[in-house]
Structure 1
Amino acid sequence: MNHEHTPDAQPEYESSHTTPSIYVASLADYNNGRLLGDWIDATIGADAIREKIAAILAKSTEFAPEEWAIHDYEGFGTKRLGEYESIEYVATLAEGIGKHGEAFAAWVDYSGLDVEEWHYFEDAYLGEYASLTAYAEQIVEDLGWRSRIDEHLPEGLKSYVRIDTEQMAEDMRQGGEIYFVESDTGIYVFNGHI
């Protein structure tokens, strides 16, 4: 979980759940030592999330419970959410994660772009790789450079010629052509010009 709850009661939630979800709590109840809230699937859209929040607040026994906060969240990758994020922001982020996976959340977090610019993700994202070297090796493979070397070099030289994919990847990173964000299994690689 990403945030600690201060009341004694803890919401139960499956930690293996990866759908972007938020735990929304009634602040009136929270401030009076009671935990009244529920997990909401953040991929259902902003209007549906607002309806779920209204249903949570309607269960309160406090006078005029209007305020709420996000007390926990899951499935947003490395992207951190604040207690008072706008529902439109959360829903749009969850939609992008639902469509593109956690690489989208990592990109949003790293790039700092506004919601209106999130459509650039598809052009920016180059894939997930074990390392930058693995990314460079994939480029070499895709472009057929190894087979070209084999075609044009004499047999006696082939064992001495190699492409330094580690240095190639580092040069691309330092030159600003690419950047990366760590993932659970390696790195997400992005086009540095987008």
Structure 2
Amino acid sequence: MTITITDIAPRVWPACLNCYNNGRLVGQWIDCTEAADVTIESLHDGFGGPYEGCQEIWCPNHENLPIKGEMSLAEAVRWGEAYEESDPE
């Protein structure tokens, strides 16, 4: 079996931390290059929020990044900037 990876763009799953901590998965997969555009309101599009207490965005999952664990949205933005500077195309 051969696996071919064609997309190497770093991606994150930014989520509403309040919703995440209360068992609601409110988030979406995005390229890190788009992380600067994420707001708490944009995360809740289609999820019926934001709810009371929804203030912080956290990235509990990511792919194509050379790190382990979770990260802040600001860190995802920096990874996106680094990826754009590397001119991958």
Q: TM-score surpassing 0.5? A: yes
Structure 1 contact 22–42 (Cα < 8 Å) conserved: yes
Query: Normalized against structure 2, the TM-score is what?
Result: 0.65
1:35 maps to amino acid: L
SS of 1:37's equivalent?
coil
Q: Which has the higher contact order (CA 8 A, sep 6+)?
A: 2
Match of 2:72 in 1: 84
What is the correspondence of 1:33-182 to structure 2 with a 5 Å cutoff? Answer: 33-44=23-34, 49-54=35-40, 55-57=42-44, 59=47, 60-76=49-65, 78-80=66-68, 82-84=70-72, 86=74, 87-97=76-86, 99-100=87-88
- CA distance in 1 between counterparts of 2:77 and 2:25 reads 25
Query: Normalized against structure 1, the TM-score is what?
Result: 0.34
Structure 1 contact 43–95 (Cα < 8 Å) conserved: yes
- CA distance in 2 between counterparts of 1:61 and 1:88 reads 22
Identity %: 21
What residue ranges of structure 1 are gaps of 5+ in the alignment?
1-15, 102-194
Structure 1 consecutive aligned stretches of length 4 or more whose deviation exceeds 6 Å: none
What residue ranges of structure 2 are gaps of 5+ in the alignment?
none
If each structure's helix is expressed as a fraction of its own residues, which one has the higher value?
A: 1
Two-structure CA RMSD over aligned residues (Å): 2.7
